[in-house]
Amino acid sequence: MSQVAAKDEIDLSEMESVENQILKDRREQEAMYFQLYSRLEVQEWLLKDSVRNKAYREAILHNKSFKNKVVLEVGCGLGMLSIFAAKAGASRVIAVDGSSITDYTSRIAEENGYGSVITVVRGKVEDIELPKDIQKVDILICDWMGHCLFLENMLESLIFARDKWLVKGGLIFPDSAQLYLTAISGQDQDLGFWHDVHGFDLSAIRRRCAGKALVEHVTTGQVMSRVYLVKSLDLYAIREGSSVFRSFYDLKVTRSGQVHGLLAYFDVGFSKCQRWVSFSTSPSAPWTHWNQTVFYLEAPLPVQAGESIKGVFGIQPSAESIFDLEFDIYVDFEGKEKSVTSKQSFVLSSTLQLGVA
C-alpha cells in the first residue's frame, strides 16, 4: 500500500471518528433536552402562560377550518393544543413529542373524552412515522417559538413536518412571526465580584458571564428607542436554516439617557381564523413565559433623543449545543458625548431557561 493511500485511509478513519462523536454528542443533547421537557413543572410553566394559551385557543377552538380535518401537533407536551383541535371538530389528531411526558398526554386525552380522536406518538418528529392509515395531514399545530424566537431549534422540526406531511394548501398554526430589536436602559451587569474572590482573580468567569444573553422581564419605561424589525417569517414559505441570518439595524433614540443593552422580542400571528389572532412578547405587552432577551453592552452609551444606534445583528445555532444560540452584535454609534464602534458575542442557553444551571 502506498503512503498516499495509507494516509487517505487514516484521514477517512479520523473523519468517521469525528462524525460518530458529533452524532453521539447530538444524541446526548437531545436526551437531556427531552428529559427536561418531561418535567411536570416545565409543562405547568407553559400552561400558566395565559397569553400563549388564549391565543392558541382563540385561533383553534371555534375555527371551522378544523372540522373533519386531520391535524398534526409537533411537540405536544401534555396535549392541550391537540385537545383544542379535537374539540374544534378534527376527525383525527396526531400528537407527537419526544419526551416521556406523552405517558400523561395519552391519559389526559382519554379522560377528557378524546381518546378515539387523539393518537399520541412518542419520538422526534424527524424519526417517527404517522399511523398507517394516514399519509398526509391537513393542519399543523406547533408551539415552536423559543426565547429570542429561535432558541431550542424547534422551527426546523416544524419545517420538516410541513415538507413531509402537510397537504398542498394545508394550514399552519401559527403561520407568521417577527423578531424585533430595541435599545433599553437598565443597570450595568454586576460582574466586578469576579475580579477579587478571596484575593484571587476570577476574571475568566467574568468574561464568560459577560458573553451570556439574558432572559429578563423588561418594562416599557426602560425602552430608549424605536423598534427595528430584524427578521420576518412566513411559515408557509421559509426553508431550513432560517435561524441563521444577519440583519442591519437602525435604532432611533427616543429619549436622552443611558443605553445599557439591546433587547430582542417577537410577535406571532395566526392568519387562518375568522379574525386575526396574535400575541406579542414586547415589554409593552402582557407577560409571557418568554419574557425578553437582553444583550448587555460592555459599557453604557450616553444617548440623546434623535440620535441613532446602528449596527448588525447576527444569529446562528450554537456550535456546542444544537438547542442554544450564538449572536454577534456590531454596534456603530456616533453621539454628541461618545462614539463607539464595537463587536460583542453572546450565547443564549436553552438549559438555563428551563431552570438547569
Distances (CA, A) of 236 to 124, 161, 163, 240, 272: 21, 12, 10, 12, 12
Exposure letters 228-244 (e unless 16+ CB within 10 A, then b): bebbebebeebeeebbe
Task: Determine the pLDDT at residue 19.
Answer: 47
- Span 342-349, mean pLDDT? 94
- Span 32-51, mean pLDDT? 82
pLDDT band at 24 (very low <50, low <70, confident <90, very high): low
Task: Determine the pLDDT at residue 186.
Answer: 84
Architecture per CATH, domain 177-353, reads as: Distorted Sandwich (2.70)
Domain boundaries, the chain: 40-143, 177-353
Lowest mean pLDDT among 64-78, 84-98, 311-325: 311-325
pLDDT surpasses 50 at 238 = yes
Q: Measured between alpha carbons, how far is 117 from 88 in angstroms, rounded to an integer?
A: 12
pLDDT band at 341 (very low <50, low <70, confident <90, very high): very high
Task: Determine the pLDDT at residue 356.
Answer: 40
Architecture per CATH, domain 40-143, reads as: 3-Layer(aba) Sandwich (3.40)
- Span 332-352, mean pLDDT? 90
Task: Determine the pLDDT at residue 15.
Answer: 44
Lowest mean pLDDT among 12-16, 93-97, 343-347: 12-16
Task: Determine the pLDDT at residue 197.
Answer: 54
User: Do residues 90 and 68 touch, judged by C-beta distance below 8 A?
Assistant: yes
Lowest mean pLDDT among 4-13, 79-88, 156-165, 246-255: 4-13
Q: What is the pLDDT of residues 166-183, one digit of tens each?
A: 999 999 999 999 999 999
Return the percentage of the chain with pLDDT > 90, whole number.
72
Average pLDDT, the chain: 88
Q: Do domains 40-143 and 177-353 have the same CATH topology?
A: no
Write down the pTM of the prediction: 0.87
- Span 327-342, mean pLDDT? 95
Instruction: Identify the three-state secondary structure at position 339.
Output: strand
Task: Determine the pLDDT at residue 194.
Answer: 46
Task: Determine the pLDDT at residue 18.
Answer: 43
More confident residue, 321 or 252: 252
pLDDT band at 46 (very low <50, low <70, confident <90, very high): confident
- Span 247-251, mean pLDDT? 98
User: Do residues 73 and 141 touch, judged by C-beta distance below 8 A?
Assistant: yes
Residue 313, classified by CB atoms within 10 Å of its CB into exposed (0-12), middle (13-18) or buried (19+), is: buried
Q: Return the bridge partners of 212, or none.
A: 347
- Span 266-279, mean pLDDT? 96
Task: Determine the pLDDT at residue 32.
Answer: 75
Q: Which is nearest to 134 in space by CA: 172, 105, 96?
A: 96
Task: Determine the pLDDT at residue 38.
Answer: 77
Angle at alpha carbon of residue 50, lines to 49 and 52, rounded to 5°:
70
Task: Determine the pLDDT at residue 11.
Answer: 59
Task: Determine the pLDDT at residue 2.
Answer: 59
Task: Determine the pLDDT at residue 209.
Answer: 54
Task: Determine the pLDDT at residue 45.
Answer: 83
pLDDT surpasses 50 at 74 = yes
